[in-house]
Structure 1
Amino acid sequence: MQHLITQYGYVAVFLLMLAESACIPIPSEVIMLFGGALAAGAYPGAHPTLIGIVLAGVLGNVAGSYIAWAVGRYAGQPAVRRWGRRFGVRGHDIDRATAWFDRYGSAAVLFGRMVPVVRTFISLPAGFAGMPAGRFGLFTTLGCIPWTAALGIAGYALGANWQHIANDFHGLTYAIAGIVVVALVVAVVLYFRRRGSDADVTEPAGTDTQAPSGRHR
């Protein structure tokens, strides 16, 4: 895997992340952490940018997720359970992702991307449930960005030490992903609060312009 990323850079990251999101058990931690380390110049070979690595990872995640969603929607749960074992898709992994989707609905596609195991298989129950393609794509993209970016940034910062961290300190990557998610949520909340404040400021002005005409009546 590392050899592929070293040789082919963005293309390898895209294809590997596509496979991971299409329910083939390839760890995204290894893909994105090494991709980030490669972007930092920690290894000889391809010289990608960090932004390019993250973008390739996100696009691969979204493309692979659509493949899994389509399989779930058009093949159905019985067929996936029957044939999935040939590709390493275990029944209890499907059960866990399905339980998440049943509990949280469409939001599970967004937040499930930050949960180990669930993030790989959450597209299947979304397909089983017939979640609309547009909404699925939006929630999938929003969920993939913080996780993929966090891993890429961590790999870039760690450089040649990325593998030691990936093997021994998985909690660190989850913590970084959580921090990025919280930052994005705060940014969105502040943005909409600011828009609401701007609307409150402009509304009284409109009311004042109408008041004199009411008194003339």
Structure 2
Amino acid sequence: MIEFIVNWAIFVLGKLGYFGVFLLMGLESACIPIPSEAILPFGGYLASSAYEGTRLSLPLVIIIGTLGGTAGSIFAYYLGAKGGRPLVEKYATKLRLSKSHLEMSDNYFNKYGEKIAFFSRLLPIIRTFISLPAGISKMNFNKFVIYTFLGSLIWSIILGYAGYIMGENWEVIRSWLHIADYIVIAAVLVFIVYVFAKKRKK
């Protein structure tokens, strides 16, 4: 399934160029799991050499990728802000969420929202979904946009430039980042187990 999505993303980029970069990065940041680990490195590769007649500019790939990621994040934020909170509150009991859990989430985003929005954009998997809970917790919108943009910019620079340097070997980057995916998943699972064990102990 992932390979199909990656191949589709490459096809879209090859055909649509800059608009494809914006579209795919927007979808990835709107909670649709299209890996930016394929989009940006391939965009960087297209800046280093032509692919089926398509040749892009690396600075534009980075800028447009950042704008697309920010736009998708804003969409997910509003989705969470408008419809997410009532839905979570409605099914809170079934999800084993108490009022204190929701308040804790709100407090985290109020206190550390800038750091969460910024650093989550640099983490595989988490970057795709973080905007939704930010919206649900009604994080300050202006701060959300600024720090999301900055985090997305750094991510776009790193992956776009890596693809530019690697050239035809850009896919190696994706295999490297798969390791980072597993690390993030393992860290999240360990955290969940820790919280569950602590709650059981109490």
TM-score for both structures, normalised by structure 2: 0.70
Give the C-alpha shift of residue 79 in structure 1. Answer: 3.4
**Aligned match for 2:43, one of 18, 35, 39:** 35
Are 2:12 and 1:4 equivalent residues in the alignment? Answer: yes
Cα gap change, 1:136 to 1:53, in 2 (>3 Å): same
Correspondence 1:77-116 to 2 at 5 A: 77=85, 79=87, 101=109, 104-116=112-124
Kept after mapping to 2: 8 A contact 1:42/1:159: no
Is 1:17 aligned with 2:25? yes
Q: Which residue of 2 aligns with 1:46?
A: 54
1:170 aligned to which of 165, 169, 177: 177
Report the CA distance shift for 1:10/1:81 in structure 2 as closer, same or farther (over 3 A): farther
- Give yes or no for the alignment of 1:59 onto 2:45: no
Cα separation, 2, equivalents of 1:80 and 1:9: 38
Match of 1:122 among 106, 117, 130: 130
Structure 1 counterpart of 2:21, one-letter code = V
1:142 and 1:39 map into 2 onto residues whose CA distance is 22
Deviation at 1:111, TM superposition (A): 1.0
Q: Which residue of 2 aligns with 1:138?
A: 146
Partner AA of 2:76 in structure 1? A
Higher relative contact order (CA closer than 8 Å, sequence separation 6+): 2
SS of 1:166 mapped into structure 2: helix
Rounded to whole Å, the distance in 2 between the matches of 1:34 and 1:173 is: 19
Paired residues of 1:19 and 1:26 also in contact (CA < 8 A): yes
Deviation at 1:171, TM superposition (A): 7.1
Structure-1 residue corresponding to 2:101: none
- List structure 1 runs of 4+ shifted beyond 4 angstroms: 100-103, 171-174
Cα RMSD (Å): 2.8
| Counterpart Cα distance in 2 of 1:33 and 1:78 | 38
Could you give the per-residue CA deviations for residues 148-192 of structure 1, whole angstroms, max 9, x where no partner exists? 11000000000000113322x227999xxxxxxxxxxxxxxxxxx
Counterpart CA distance in 2 for 1:62 and 1:14 is 10
Asked if structure 2 preserves the Cα contact closer than 8 Å seen for 1:13 and 1:60, the reply is: yes
Shift of the 106–8 alpha-carbon distance from structure 1 to 2, 3 Å rule, reads same
Q: Percent identity?
A: 43
d(CA) in 1 for partners of 2:130, 2:109? 7
Question: 1:85 aligns to what?
Answer: none
Q: Deviations over 1:173-217 (max 9, x none)?
A: 99xxxxxxxxxxxxxxxxxxxxxxxxxxxxxxxxxxxxxxxxxxx
- Superposed displacement of residue 43, structure 1: 2.3
Between the aligned partners of 1:125 and 1:108, the Cα distance in structure 2 is 11
**Structure 1, unpaired ranges of 5+:** 83-96, 175-217
**1:87-146, Cα deviation, whole Å (9 max, x unpaired):** xxxxxxxxxx99x85884331001111112111111111101111221111111111111
